[in-house]
Structure 1
Amino acid sequence: MRSGLLVSGRRGGSGRVVGMLHLRVVCPVDATDEVLAVLKAHPGVTHVALFPGAAIEPAGDVVAADLAREATDEVLSALCGLGIDHTGGVTLEQIDTALSDAADRAEEAAPGEAADAVVWEELLSRTGEESRLNATFLAFLTIACLLAAVGVVTNSPVTIVGAMVVGPEFGPLAAIAVGIVLRRWDLVRRAGLALAVGFPLAMLVTFGGAVLGSYSGLFDRTMVLSAHQVDFVFQVGPFSLIVALLAGAAGMLSMTSAKSAALVGVFISVTTVPAAGYAAIAAVLGEWAICGMSVLQLVVNLVGIVVAAAVVLALRNRRSRTRDLGRPLSNG
């Protein structure tokens, strides 16, 4: 993401952290006037600049602007209505700080609050990328499960928390919620595949590691079964679902409001990865009751997160549509 410092005709002004995005449009020359009309007509857009003939591939003009987060969805819809996403390209970058009266006016003129605005294209792009089954996702999930297994064996809640933070599973879970709400079943399938392949593979590797550890004398049944500080990992109860629901809601609010720091709190509040790691350890020891409860804990948390995230996103989507009802897009 890009950090921009914008100065507009004043000295000694105090910087404001604003909810603005930098927009860059590559468009055919014959569409430039329409693009400029869209941008200049919206009160939430400012700092509009034109670079004639600057684009090489695809050839055309480059138009840049800064826009309030609340205005982003309308502007993107209007630009896509012109077909710019097919004939050229549209990119967005985050601006952390702006020193500009014009930026202040644009943010004030845009309807709603920046923290409440959902940029749907940004959300689709982000969740789509994080839901892919790839080597990096599998590596992080496997490492997280192995850390969880170490935490179980050593009776270390701190190591369990470390495994929660490393685990990458919230990305696909959020993607499933987004896909359900927006009826993007391709996204649901892709994220579901990542989870369906990732967790069994990570648990299998952890099982293998646990077998080696058991045979080499690193731990035994008594050592694991006496580790009562980490019993919460497999103990399924009403609070398991409650925590999963709250975590899913907080995670989706964080993703849709660009407050990504809150995602860390989500990661360390749910026992998805730790449950998978405990299941592998329990299977090695032949403790099938604990293994079954760990798997149930995993399923409860995964389902709870998706349900809560989907509900939050559906409510935000409904509110956005209600707010925009009857207001035409600024399409020049």
Structure 2
Amino acid sequence: MLHLRLITPAGTTDEVVRLIDKTVGTAHLVVLPGAARDPAGDVVLCDVAREAGDELLTSLRELGLDRTGSIAVETVDLSLSRRADEAEREAPGEGADAVLWEGLTDATHEESTLSVTYVAFITLATMIAACGVVLDNAVLIVGAMAVGPEFGPLAGISTALVQRHPRLAWRSVIALLVGFAAAMALTSAFSLFMDAVGLFSKDRLEADRPNTGFIYAPDWFSFVVAVLAGIAGTLSLTSAKSGALVGVAISVTTVPAAANAAVALVYGDTHQAVRSSEQLLLNLLGIVVAGTLTLLAQKHFWKRRRQRA
């Protein structure tokens, strides 16, 4: 269930209440006349089944409530109510399959914003991966994958393409390009420092690396894994199962490829630098393509489901 807290101008409260009443899957409607102060108006509270949430939110925005008042949405983790159970049964479809497009756009907007924290995480992940490639340590590579925040902008690009949201697409592309550029530049400086203190060396980078050699060996399997990870990551976002994102993060060679390219450039190994860059681009492309197609399929499936209902 989702809990909605609405601030409505006094003149539109009756229309909002009628809209909630006629939406299948709503329950626990509460109206507090004159309770809101900023902006001034009435407060309307209600619960709605997740599978009916997107329809209700779209209708509320069509009324202009996001401009004249306020729409706040919270996830209800536990609701002990017979009426809530009835509302979920009445709503068409399953909550796990429903996509809250407004929530998805807002979430990817936040995750794809270029910030100091985002750059710090992607830089630290790339530095950890640099240690992993030089030491041929698969554990460090997995750790770097888990730390990297690059799936946020990739999901933002997919969402922007499906929702036709050019500002979100531009923001996501900027975060992705600037983030990786800054991470690779700082990792190059980090590699020079590690070389100066004797912890990195060209011989280690170019030695036989059975555990991490795949990072600069892109092939069709790399693309297939990226596509599968893109599908899984997108489903985890739309179904609010964020725990699955960790598995997605450690299955795609993006941050390690950027790290390998940065270290290889420092030592003048153009072969590894070029092949690692190809690996990076191949994985990024696979995730975006898979994420976009997954969202399009979900949008089509849910539209058909609602029409049949």
Query: Smaller-chain TM-score range?
Result: over 0.9
Q: CA–CA distance in 2 between the matches of 1:238 and 1:264?
A: 23
Counterpart of 2:129 (choices 148, 159, 175) is: 148
Whether 1:29 and 2:10 are equivalent positions in the alignment is: yes
Match of 2:95 in 1: 114
Q: Which residue of 1 aligns with 2:76?
A: 95
For 1:186, the aligned partner's letter is R
Aligned length: 308
Q: Deviations over 1:120-143 (max 9, x none)?
A: 100010011111111111111101
Q: Please give the alpha-carbon distance, in whole angstroms, between the structure 2 residues aligned to 1:326 and 1:21.
A: 23
Report the Cα offset of residue 250 of structure 1. Answer: 0.6
Counterpart amino acid of residue 105 in structure 2: L
1:223 aligns with 2:204: yes
Q: Is 1:278 aligned to 2:260, yes or no?
A: yes
Residue 174 of structure 1 is aligned with which of 155, 161, 172?
A: 155
The residue aligned with 1:188 is 169
Write the distance in 1 (CA, Å) between the matches of 2:263 and 2:177: 20
Amino acid at match of 1:189: W
Q: CA deviation at 1:219?
A: 2.1
Aligned-residue Cα RMSD (Å) equals 1.2
- Partner of residue 258, structure 1: 240
Amino acid corresponding to residue 317 of structure 1 in structure 2: K
User: Alignment partner of 2:113: what SS?
Assistant: coil
**Unaligned residue ranges in structure 2 (runs of 5+):** none
- Tell me which amino acid in the other structure corresponds to 1:229: N
How high is the TM-score relative to the length of structure 2?
A: 0.97
Amino acid at match of 2:298: R
Between structures 1 and 2, the one with greater helix share: 2
Is the partner of 1:248 in helix, strand or coil?
Answer: helix
Q: Name 1:204's counterpart in structure 2.
A: 185
Partner in structure 2 of residue 298 of structure 1: 280
- How far apart are residue 323 of structure 1 and its match? 3.0
Q: What's the % identity of the aligned pairs?
A: 48
Distance 1:214 1:158 in 2: 22
Q: C-alpha displacement at 1:301, in angstroms?
A: 0.3
* SS class of match (1:239): helix
The CA distance in 1 between the partners of 2:33 and 2:124, in whole Å, is 50
- Specify the alignment match of 2:296 in structure 1: 314
Q: Which residue does 1:10 correspond to in 2? A: none
State the alpha-carbon separation in 2 of the partners of residues 220 and 192 from structure 1: 34
Specify the SS of the correspondent of 1:224.
helix
CA distance in 2, matches of 1:49, 1:245: 45
1:225: Cα distance to partner? Answer: 2.4
Are positions 1:161 and 2:142 aligned together?
Answer: yes
Separation in 1 of the partners of 2:206 and 2:59?
Answer: 61
Secondary structure of residue in 2 paired with 1:219: coil
User: How many angstroms does 1:98 deviate by?
Assistant: 1.2
2:33 corresponds in structure 1 to 52
Structure 1 residue aligned with 2:57: 76
| Aligned residue number for residue 238 of structure 1 | 220
1:39 to 6, 17, 20: 20
Partner of 1:16: none
Aligned partner of residue 229 in structure 1, secondary structure:
coil
TM-score (norm 1): 0.90
Q: Note the alpha carbon deviations across 1:75-126, whole angstroms, 9 max, x for none.
A: 1122122211111010101111111111110000000000000011000100
Larger displacement relative to structure 2 (217-226 or 281-290): 217-226
AA aligned to 1:200 is A
C-alpha deviation, 1:182, in angstroms: 1.3
Aligned to 2:212, the other structure's residue is in SS state helix
Counterpart position of 1:288: 270
Q: Which amino acid aligns with 1:159?
A: L
Q: Secondary structure at the match of 1:197?
A: helix
Which amino acid is the alignment partner of residue 160 of structure 1? I
Classify the secondary structure of the residue corresponding to 2:292: helix
Greater CA drift, 228-237 or 196-205: 228-237
Partner Cα distance (1:150, 1:210) in 2: 9
Match of residue 6 from structure 1: none
